[in-house]
Amino acid sequence: MDTHRRGRAFEHLAASRLQREGFRIEARNVRAGREEIDLVARRGPLVAFVEVKGRTRGDRGHPLGAIDHRKRAAIARVARDWIHRHGRAGDVYRFDAVAVVRSRDGWRVDHIADAWRLGQGM
């Protein structure tokens, strides 16, 4: 499976997990210029901008290690654009991450709520 298809499969697993937690997926692959947010999920007034990272092999480190300060800044830029276009009065925003890793039983999907804040490390 190529990288693009694998990424889409990870996003599907992440969206399913979020939906089981009561979120509605508002948007997928939101772009502003060349930057992207994988998922925008809503539960009531809470809007989560979600970065999805996955690994098929354990020798490349934990997937969330790939969300460095540059990636967080890029996600924030896209989030600001999304809020400007679609935000509602009373909405509350946060940045979440979903890690998808291969386990003995298939795939493990971990949702990290409020994974980082603007100006902070993860």
pLDDT score of 121: 47
Q: How many other CB atoms sit within 10 Å of the CB of residue 7?
A: 17
Q: Which amino acid is at 38?
A: D
DSSP 65: G
Residues of the chain with pLDDT under 50: 121-122
pLDDT score of 1: 67
- Architecture of the domain defined by 3-116: 3-Layer(aba) Sandwich (3.40)
Give this prediction's pTM.
0.91
Tell me how many degrees the CA angle 40-103-52 measures, rounded to the nearest 5. Answer: 15
Beta carbons of 97 and 110 less than 8 angstroms apart = no
3-state class (DSSP) for residue 121: coil
pLDDT score of 37: 97
